Structure 1
Amino acid sequence: MSTAQLTNSAPRLFYTVTEPRNGQAPHRTFLLSHALGCDVTMWDELVAHLSAENRVVCYDQRGHGRSEAPTGPYTMAALADDAARLIDELNLGAITWIGLSMGGMIGQELALRHPTKVQALVLANTTSFYPDEARTGWDQRIATIAQDGLASIVDGAMLRWFHDGFRATQPNTVAYWKQRVLACSQDGYIACCHAIRDMDTTARLPTIGVPTLVIAGELDLGTPPAMARAIAHHIPGAQLAILPQASHLSVLEQPAAFIHTVDQWLSAH
């Protein structure tokens, strides 16, 4: 059974809770955190899989989907505190975090700021910091959106998110995600860009003490495998998996491989 509503505390975040289909007490509670420009529907296939025996909570980041978009800029710490607030409001206890891209950045910060709330981490298609050249790219993106709107960057996002073969064979999926970007609050999207541009957890990662799986996409240009390797290197005991034929939104391009990788890792942790 799945329910959906808004948090009581502000900024109000839209979230869904899916209880275990087997009717038993949940084996784990997962909290899933989406990429910039996406929403809870990014996780539909994974939720259907994990909810066989687990409670699965998804939420729209501030500035996305049906969540509120307070005035920015945002920081990664504030986004992590949003997640911590959701965990507390729903009385979830220690959760297993699965985050992709921005969601993976938030997961790192959550584990560092609120370690008792995190039981395990899955960090997909993400990074622990951006070098100066990439930070300049984020500045340019922010300026472009401010002047010309989200429509000015959405086609470039689709090129980064999905490889040529996927775009050719799954045009409806690409069109859906293009519309999800365009449905974002422009100010909220820009405010999240500031948080992403400025994030840097690298020096603090060795203090993360929970089991961690780091997933990369072989073809990911936005957060290439080298960034995933750096995260896995700095978090003690972290495991690295690189998915073939996956770009930035690996959970959408290669859902079966993503699920298999997560399942195998969970079985050992």
Structure 2
Amino acid sequence: MTEAVDCVHVVEGKGPPLFMVHGIGARRSVWGPLTEHLKDDFTCIAYDLRGHGDSPKGPGPFGLGELVADLEALRAKLGIEQAHVIGHSLGGMIGPAYARAYPERVKTLGLLSTAAFRTSEDSAKVRGVVAAMEENGIPQSLGTLVDRWFTDAFKAANPDKVEARQQQVLDTDPDVFLNVFHIYAETEMGPWLHEVDTPSLVLTGENDGGCNPRLNKLIADALPHSELVILDELKHAILIEASDRIAEPVRRFLSTHG
């Protein structure tokens, strides 16, 4: 395992600390709209994953273990004893892996739009996306990703936000983007999720193809203390498309367990 990197972060709000972990090719700024809903009651700490945004990428390829180590290094740097942790997509894998490694540090978990218990067909689909990007280039696959992320109605009404999300991907080092996509494609939490005893909110969009309700129901069933929320009509980019709809169940869950 390589040494942890010093991830660039932003702290906003007051109250119990909440680490916010973004997904593939995103930035800490993706948490901004949800932070607006939560900052009166929680100290929201959003950070750029290694190689994303303003954070250094560190030496060579990395795995889920390094991403967990980065979060632990940030917690230690800030001197926080225990915190809530919420993650989206790949961040929804980092959070449980962190809670498994450091159970005493995590008050609750939020698993947003993530995946586990993939069938062989599910795994083949996500690996096919990675293979297509490696063969044809990331820009050539952006259309496919955008269709997976956003509903048609949102794309039509918010072309600027869709364009901004695409630009984040294009601004990410291609090696880093493919590295984290491989982690997302190859991580399987199923064998160990039952070990994560932390109260957990499992939330996804009804029409999220890769992180669908079927898989999220299995995630919720595996976690000893969980609550499942399915938001109708939404796809994958729920933080951008529907932060207002996420805020209510997230705030309620955090308050109940915090």
**In structure 1, distance between residues paired with 2:117 and 2:71:** 20
What is the match of residue 254 of structure 1? 242
Deviation at 1:182, TM superposition (A): 0.7
The answer to whether the 8 A contact 1:71-1:188 is kept is no
The answer to whether residue 170 in structure 2 is matched with residue 182 in structure 1 is yes
Contact 1:69 1:187 in 2 (8 A): no
Aligned to 1:13: 7
SS of the residue aligned with 1:11? Answer: coil
Unaligned runs of 5+ in 2: none
Q: Verify the 8 A CA contact 1:155 1:178 in the aligned structure 2.
A: no
Which of 103, 119, 133 is residue 107 of structure 2 equivalent to? 119
Unaligned runs of 5+ in 1: 1-8, 21-25
Question: What's the TM-score once normalised by structure 1's chain length?
Answer: 0.89
Q: How does 1:1-269 map to 2 (within 5 A)?
A: 10-20=4-14, 26=15, 28-269=16-257
**Cα distance change on mapping 1:265 and 1:53 into 2, 3 Å:** closer
Aligned partners of 1:201 and 1:220: how far apart in 2?
Answer: 18
Q: CA RMSD in A?
A: 1.7
Secondary structure of residue in 1 paired with 2:191: helix
CA distance in 2, matches of 1:142, 1:130: 16
Q: CA deviation at 1:141?
A: 3.4
Q: Is the 8 A contact 1:245 1:254 kept in 2?
A: no
Q: Check the 8 A contact 2:111/2:202 in 1, yes or no.
A: yes
CA distance in 1, matches of 2:6, 2:95: 19
How many residue pairs align between the two structures? 255
Q: Distance in 2 between matches of 1:139 and 1:69?
A: 23
Q: Distance in 2 between matches of 1:86 and 1:257?
A: 29
Does the Cα contact within 8 Å between 2:6 and 2:56 map onto a contact in 1? yes
Is the 1:130–1:197 Cα contact (8 Å) retained in structure 2? no
Deviation at 1:138, TM superposition (A): 4.0
Partner Cα distance (1:39, 1:240) in 2: 26
Deviates more, 1:78-87 or 1:10-19: 10-19
TM-score (norm 2): 0.92
Alpha-carbon distance, 1:178 to partner: 0.8
